[in-house]
Structure 1
Amino acid sequence: MAAVLERNILEAAAHWYVELRCEPDAATRAAHQHWLLSDPLHQQAWERLGRLQGKFEQVSPQLARTTLAGARARRREVLKVLSILLVAGGAGSLAWRSTPMQTLLADQRTGTGERRSLRLDDGSQLQLNTASAVDIRYSAQVRQVNLLDGEILVETARDALSRPFIVHTAQGSVRALGTRFIVRREGERTRVCVLEHAVEVRCADAQVAVRVEAGQQLSFSAAQIGDLQPAPSQADAWTRGMLVANDWRLGDFITELQRYRPGHLGCTEAIGDLRISGAFHLADTDIVLDNLTTTLPVRIRRFSRFWTRVEAA
């Protein structure tokens, strides 16, 4: 059954393991039980974790303590647990395409809800969105950024050596053609959105290149490049700490908001098709959630600090 235990389920199990070792209160324990009973796959993930518990404490002895203060410290421990779950659980291609240990050892990375701006050696600008990780590899022949996880915005500078600038993901590569663009990992696909000039996209298993112009976007897997589509007008809003929705499904909005807060954020199926528009500050996602109740027929149920669900009012 390992093949059906996707990363999000294993990551949730890793989160609960860390949270339950940090002096949990009754509400947190109840929320964990609710999670276990809500899906048979959750129980399978928890059983796998139990079989590997000894390995976790060898890799990270501090898990045996109850002093893991701060969301960032806990997130680091979650990633360590998740890396063992993926590798020891035999999660196939998922284990190498989404390796938490690679993320931990990346040249640059951000935690959940964190953003970072970098100036590269050639003057190019690189911005990392929430929960993102990159390796930066410059040589005399090429400028390369390997996007291991998350989302980046690239603004290339003119290079004195005329080296190409290429962003690699597990699914393929994006070559800049004097441009400003966004690259985002989405599970087994990569999405590219061009803000200025153009890029050239190649998937890993084919050499055919597709040119993407300013105002266009597409997604691609390792084997296939999708159709060109219009780019969202506020695709780079996250660089300003904003999430902009234009007549989105509420379910899609909650999925996107989840990227910016630790733990689990879900939405019941009954309200998933409600529509939402607006510009939302990402600095405090609890305020964003509370504001939903003033404009939509929903309520927010918080089972613990890290387990929240939006339901019909």
Structure 2
Amino acid sequence: MRPHGASEPALEPAVVEQAMQWLVRLQSGASSEAEQRACERWRLQSSAHELAWQRLNGLGQGLREGTHGLSAQGARQLLQARAQVSRRAVLSGLVGAGVLIAGGYSLQQRTLLPTVFSDYATGTGERHSWHLQGGLVLQLDTGSALDIDSAAGARLLTLNRGRLLLEPGQNADVRLRSAQVLIRPAPASRLIVQQLATTTQVQVLQGAALIDYGQGGARLERVAGWQQHFSAAGAEPAQPLNAAATAWTQGQLVAERMPLTQLLAELDRYRPGILRCDPRIAALRVSGTFSVDQPDVSLALLTEVLPVRVQRVLGYWAQVIPA
């Protein structure tokens, strides 16, 4: 494959998004033969589709170059070492290759790279738990990525993407970092931390946590029963803990008069492909419990309780529109 120069045509954001969704799905190890054939059909639909596919595959190949023949741990360590010195260079190279498009499309938001470099990661529609030494328990939600760095007996966790349920254990010395905060959970506490586009949400289920935030190094303590968002500008007002905060850990999404567009945005995180909401019905309110493990079943349920229908293209694109 020849190198991609800056003179090559830029790709539409929607095409890049489709290619990334296909790539993540097919490399997850959970794709079916039907999905592989559907991806091939998508690639054949236009030269832009094939170009986006080739560029993203070239990116993955380059990042993994030289890891063949190594143990899984050795390969991961090599990739992490590269990541520490070349993340910015890789992103710059993507801009030159036309994979990132001027005008606000952010690879960090779609987050292909964290799944390449991170110690622990989940794909679309996947949740996974780990029980580590010292009593540390982790559960990652769909599309999440986490790094762990241990030094002098302490563990520094970095949430690169997505949502994490953290249980430090009685004797675990743990710190958790996101883009906006540094969290020091108390022993035997339980908390959920979610990295959103511009904020970090912290939900304390049990115990307490010290939270450092803001450029001035402000600190506050939150105890069980409270949740709060933190941005680069500071801390938003604390709120009582959402009663359904842990529903995702059981594969459920609980809605209480939730705008349809918000509910679909949540289901979109668990469904391979693209899910969109027609603006004409975006404000419809939805109440009920929906499965995130079976998002298409949840979509079918919506058509029974709301005046909507689901319009699909190849099973990949789906849009909820007025019935």
TM interval, short-chain normalised: 0.7 to 0.9
SS of 2:202's equivalent in the other structure is strand
Which residue among 175, 182, 190 is the counterpart of 1:180?
190
CA contact (8 A) 2:19 2:56 kept: no
Judged with a 3 Å threshold, the aligned counterparts in structure 2 of structure 1 residues 303 and 96 are, in CA distance, closer, same or farther, namely closer
Judged with a 3 Å threshold, the aligned counterparts in structure 2 of structure 1 residues 205 and 20 are, in CA distance, closer, same or farther, namely farther
d(CA) in 2 for partners of 1:126, 1:269: 37
d(CA) in 2 for partners of 1:54, 1:116: 30
The one-letter amino acid paired with 1:14 is A
Task: Say whether residues 1:125 and 2:134 are aligned partners.
Answer: no
Judged with a 3 Å threshold, the aligned counterparts in structure 2 of structure 1 residues 137 and 306 are, in CA distance, closer, same or farther, namely same
d(CA) in 1 for partners of 2:276, 2:198: 21
SS of 2:298's equivalent in the other structure is helix
Matched residue, 1:268: 278
Task: Say whether residues 1:289 and 2:299 are aligned partners.
Answer: yes
Which residue among 166, 170, 177 is the counterpart of 2:175?
166
Task: Say whether residues 1:109 and 2:118 are aligned partners.
Answer: no
Matched residue, 1:12: 17
d(CA) in 1 for partners of 2:130, 2:111: 23
CA contact (8 A) 1:184 1:192 kept: yes
- Give the CA deviation at 1:204: 5.1
Task: After superposition, give the CA deviation of every residue in 1:254-305 in whole Å (9 maximum; x if it has no partner).
Answer: 1111110111101111111111111112221111101111111111111222
Gaps of 5+ in 1: 34-45, 62-81
Which residue among 202, 210, 231 is the counterpart of 1:221?
231
Task: After superposition, give the CA deviation of every residue in 1:239-263 in whole Å (9 maximum; x if it has no partner).
Answer: 1111111121111101111110111
Query: How many residues are treated as equivalent by the alignment?
Result: 268
Judged with a 3 Å threshold, the aligned counterparts in structure 2 of structure 1 residues 229 and 170 are, in CA distance, closer, same or farther, namely same
d(CA) in 2 for partners of 1:302, 1:98: 22
Matched residue, 2:308: 298
Which residue among 167, 171, 175 is the counterpart of 1:155?
167
Matched residue, 2:288: 278
d(CA) in 1 for partners of 2:110, 2:310: 31
CA contact (8 A) 1:86 1:95 kept: no
Judged with a 3 Å threshold, the aligned counterparts in structure 2 of structure 1 residues 54 and 117 are, in CA distance, closer, same or farther, namely closer
- Cα RMSD of the aligned pairs, angstroms, is 3.5
CA contact (8 A) 1:87 1:95 kept: no
SS of 2:256's equivalent in the other structure is strand
TM-score norm. by structure 1 comes to 0.74
Task: After superposition, give the CA deviation of every residue in 1:187-214 in whole Å (9 maximum; x if it has no partner).
Answer: 1211111111221222252311122221
d(CA) in 1 for partners of 2:146, 2:280: 38
Judged with a 3 Å threshold, the aligned counterparts in structure 2 of structure 1 residues 172 and 219 are, in CA distance, closer, same or farther, namely same
CA contact (8 A) 1:10 1:85 kept: no
TM-score norm. by structure 2 comes to 0.72
Where in structure 2 are the equivalents of 1:21-100 lying within 5 Å? Answer: 22-24=39-41, 29=45, 55-56=55-56, 58-59=58-59, 85=94, 89=100, 100=112
CA contact (8 A) 1:215 1:230 kept: yes
